[in-house]
Amino acid sequence: MRKRSRTSAPPDTGLAALVLRVEASSRKPGADPLQIAKDEIERLRSGDDAGTVVDLARLLVGTEGLMDALTHLGQSALLLVLSSARRAFFEGEWKELARLLGGGRNEFRERALLPDVGPGPLPVPDAWLEVGAEPEAGQRASQEELAGCLAEAEAGGEEERARLRALLSDLAEEQEPVAAPLTAALGDDGLSLLLRDFLGDDASLACASAFFRHVLRPRVLGLSGAPSMSLVESIAAAAACRPGTLAREVLSPATCSPELGPPQVELLKRACRVDALRAFASEMMRSLAVSGGRWSEAHLAAMLALVQACGDLGEGDLGEVCASLRRRAQDFSSSLHFAKLVGEIVRKFPREARPQRLVLLEALDCNTTFFAKIAASKAQRL
């Protein structure tokens, strides 16, 4: 989701009509936000509106005061529409969207709504946006069943692996990893063995995505020390065979995570050596740039690795990266890695960086390292 400049009124599009339609429906007596959302989702799917859910997200985030101007029920219905198509977004984009629209920091809960609505909070936006929700009983059952399947498949034969594939197919729609606390029982060698079943053409994309999301991602995010050679080789194999799935389900969530550390960065760098993954570097750069939360030096190292791996940049990608660096510059006023990152952007993408020259210079202005002076000199010559 690319950020747009904020405007004072919705653009004249089918999406603006969608917002007005939702608002009108929400003001009717007995209006149900869930039913309103279902109706609009069906309308989008049927093609009556030319816009997409991603475009709707851009409209809500990029139009000044639009969400504030809607009623309580209207806001709820639009959040449900977005939640219905979460898979259209990269993980970092989704979390930033949730934060901007109130799901990540509960901004709707903390501010009063319009007088005709009263000061009450939105009904559980966290649950609808799937941010920070506690596991329910059904999810705990899924965790236990998946843990059992993993253990059986590691030690068993084709029948046990077929059962694992069937379970993962059932979990394909679960967007948050269900195995996070349970993958420790599966060793890296066992993980590597099971991963092979999901790298070939005979494994469906949905099933492979579920394995990456529910098994591989928790293992990567749970690392606290140097990754084993077996895990490094598994990541390299996944990067070669299913680069898009690895980027979307494992690497992008890892780089956007507040728990990102040297072990995850090491795996990212190893994956970036694989040519097939380089095509997804710009997407991961943008996802990291728009992610919420405080960055560490590890996030700078991850962004540097992605910049170095990136071949072609999409329109607007570098602008989002540069804006993010300017926004975070004060946090890294004495960081060599920050200055080196800006210098590498200028060196590798001089044509794309030229329109961002002033933004980059402003980002470097508060950096006190010698490398910042070198990077600023290069940026001045763009």
Q: How far apart are CA 133 and CA 121, in angstroms?
A: 17
User: Is the CB of residue 361 less than 8 Å from the CB of residue 378?
Assistant: no
Nearest Cα to Cα of residue 178 among 138, 221, 220: 138
- Non-local (6+) Cβ contacts of 345 within 8 A are 307, 318, 321, 322, 353, 360
3 state SS for 177-230:
CCCCCCHHHCCHHHHHHHHHHHCCCCCCHHHHHHHHHHHHHHHHHCCCCCCCHH
- pLDDT given for residue 131 in this prediction: 36
What is d(CA 376, CA 378) in angstroms, rounded to the nearest whole number? 5
At 98, the amino acid letter reads A
**Looking at residue 104, what is its pLDDT?**
34
Residue 1 pLDDT: 41
The whole-number pLDDT of residue 96 equals 66
Candidate ranges 29-38, 124-133, 243-252; pick with highest mean pLDDT: 243-252
**Are the CB atoms for 299 and 269 separated by under 8 Å?**
no
Q: What is the pLDDT of residues 307-333, one digit of tens each?
A: 999 987 765 678 889 999 999 999 999
pLDDT of residue 319: 86
Least confident of 43-52, 81-90, 158-167, 256-265: 43-52
293 DSSP 8-state letter: S
pTM: 0.63
Instruction: Return mean pLDDT, the chain.
Output: 75
